[in-house]
Structure 1
Amino acid sequence: MAETAAEARNPRERYRAQVRAEIKEHAWEQIATAGVPALSLNAIARQMGMSGPALYRYFANRDDLITELIRDAYRSLDETLAAAASGGADLAGLAHALREWALADPQRYFLIYGTPVPGYHAPQDTTETSARIMATLLDACTAALAPDAPATLFGAHLADHRDWARDHPAPPEALHRALSFWTRLHGLLSLELAGHFTGMAFDPALFFAAELADLTDRA
């Protein structure tokens, strides 16, 4: 049987990967407790019984660690939606996959779609992953678009303002639908995960389904 990439690593490389994974686990715990601004590599080092300088051999600084967490989060969502699409999920199926992914780990969701970390700039490669996520959504929106879908004023605007969609061939109305889908569902998820629906005596899942039905019925 052929070795996997992990099995092919030498012991030092495997140990390094294990330590980095443990550091990231502690980082997520800190973020869940006190938020990203409070993230401290020295605190993680103490939890792991390491010295600060020893931990810095695995992550150069706090921003280096945040970058890795952001990459992991984007990669996870990209893989989740791509797997759903490969399994035949339509636009509604992608929406439910997005919600399940967000509910499974709200801190991971907020790290990439919440308030930007002060003084931090995300790396370029996360933009590439984000573009793949949007391409998956654009594929679904294009497939769901009715042949006689009426043109919209904003759709006409997007015909000449589509750089954000890269080279995806989606027609303007599919671009409009993708943006509506993305912004409305993220708005719902952000409010739900932040607890703003608590005490309002309605089921957030039913609200999500109702908004999704409105979006897909008009596709």
Structure 2
Amino acid sequence: MAATDQEPDQPPTRRAERRAQTIAEIKTLARRQLATEGTGGLSLRGIAREMRITPAALFRYFDNQSALITALCIDSYDAYAAAMTEAQHAAGADPAARWRAGCEAARRWALANPSEFALIAGTPIPGYHARPEETGPAAGRLMQAIAQPYFDAVADGTADPTATLIPELAAGPLLGGDAWPASPVPGILITAWASIQGFITGETFGSIAQLTADPAELYQAHIRTVMRGMGFQD
């Protein structure tokens, strides 16, 4: 991605402000394309045409199309994590209530932002491969929002990971790396989130809404089922 023009802790110059505005406009148009054309429909030429500039001018802001997609992915991870974290904070101190609130917020965000959700959980964009060193920190922030209520529940005894059937695993990078000792907790979080996100994906892009008159009620039951599988105490 192209470098920024502003030094840290300096007030923004007019040039930096204009640059930020242009980057924001490029992203807005790109998201609009994704919403109308799908993940395979992103076109730098189309964005340049709408902005009435040459395609080459876009390279002043993003080195290539992959850099633009990466920026959009990072924004999506951050927005997804922020929605979950805000709901968790509003739920209070109880870890179970925070986990549930985070799951509810995840569904609301995905249904409200299907094209952004598709960037990080849907159909891969042809020819694009995310670089972990670029998208990893943002994905880690999302994983932290997912994991923290469960860490707290295990710490205060409101969830018992030994009551599950998940084997002991060492945590991967998004769960704390080598600092987290081998235990069932990483595997529990991975399987729990895979189940939650699978439901959300099925409702956002699939046929769940056609199979039940009340997907929201079914989702609430799904959350409760997943929580029991995580060892949360009733």
Q: Tell me which interval the TM-score lies in, with the shorter structure as reference length.
A: 0.7 to 0.9
- Bigger drift between 43-52 and 167-176 goes to 167-176
Aligned residue in 2 for 1:19: 22
Q: Distance in 2 between matches of 1:204 and 1:100?
A: 12
RMSD: 2.5
Residue from 114, 120, 128 that aligns with 1:106: 114
Q: Deviations over 1:116-142 (max 9, x none)?
A: 223212131311221232233222113
- Which runs of 5 or more residues in structure 1 are unaligned? none
- Bigger drift between 8-17 and 192-201 goes to 192-201
Alignment of 1:70 with 2:73, yes or no, is yes
1:1-219 matched pairs, under 5 angstroms: 8-87=11-90, 88=92, 90-123=98-131, 124-145=133-154, 146=158, 149-156=161-168, 158=169, 161-164=170-173, 165-167=175-177, 169=180, 172-218=183-229, 219=232
Q: Distance in 2 between matches of 1:74 and 1:42?
A: 26
Q: Is the 8 A contact 1:139 1:170 kept in 2?
A: no
SS at match of 1:37: coil
- Which runs of 5 or more residues in structure 2 are unaligned? 1-7
Distance 1:7 1:86, change over 3 A: farther
Q: Is the 8 A contact 1:95 1:212 kept in 2?
A: yes
Give 2:117's aligned amino acid: Y
Q: Distance in 2 between matches of 1:143 and 1:214?
A: 19
Distance 1:152 1:197, change over 3 A: closer
Q: Distance in 1 between matches of 2:159 and 2:211?
A: 40
- Bigger drift between 166-175 and 202-211 goes to 166-175
Aligned residue pairs total 212
Taking structure 1 as the reference length, the TM-score comes to: 0.85
Q: Distance in 1 between matches of 2:25 and 2:182?
A: 45
